[in-house]
Structure 1
Amino acid sequence: MSIVKINVLTVPAEQREVLEERFASRAGMVENSDGFEWFELLRPVEGTDRYLVYTRWRSEADFQAWMEGPMRAAHQGRGDQSGERPKPAATDSTVWTFDVVQQAAPAARAAE
């Protein structure tokens, strides 16, 4: 069954828009990766300054291949016109890993 990687990013309030814009500008980068199943960027509503970056993968090997290939290339290539890398929007990052052991989807509803 699949694995889930959740990157927990501590993002100060003044950097939220920067973080969201950076993720929006990278749209499409992960979607074509072998073994990729799902992505969500979750913005905190209350009680925390942590964003959650949720990705779901067919296997740990697929995730690692993406980290060593497209992900690494994307982070190395990020720079402004002077070649300088922008300051990170997050002040801390932790990755959580989970095995998917159960899942459910909405039941199909009968036409009325």
Structure 2
Amino acid sequence: MKLQESGENYLETILILNRKNGFVRSIDIANELNYSKPSVSRAMGILKKAGLITIEKNGQIELTEMGHNQATAIYERHCLIKQFLIQTLQIDEQLADKDACRIEHVISMETFERMKEMLKN
């Protein structure tokens, strides 16, 4: 399933928060992204319907295998693009992180793979 940029941001945030805290709830996502709880709740419903997350009775949000795979791919793009911007273009880390967050959603696989190869060399 092809997600909109916002859906990809939610998946990436769930992955990062889960790695950081070991659990994720809607309020954690709302706080991290500075979004309203109703906005996050609506997005979680969409991700759940798409089979990308499950929501436990206690409110804990888990990535499904498909959700985890997508979130990991998104996060990999983010990290590699950020690294590319810092190492190759000597962009400040904070700006590189901000720019990578936007670029990760629109970059072609061909360009991404070439950036990856360039960083290997």
Instruction: Provide the TM-score with structure 1 as the length reference.
Output: 0.25
1 or 2, which has the higher strand percentage?
A: 1
1 or 2, which has the higher helix percentage?
A: 2
Relative contact order higher in (CA < 8 Å, ≥ 6 apart) = 1
Instruction: Provide the TM-score with structure 2 as the length reference.
Output: 0.24
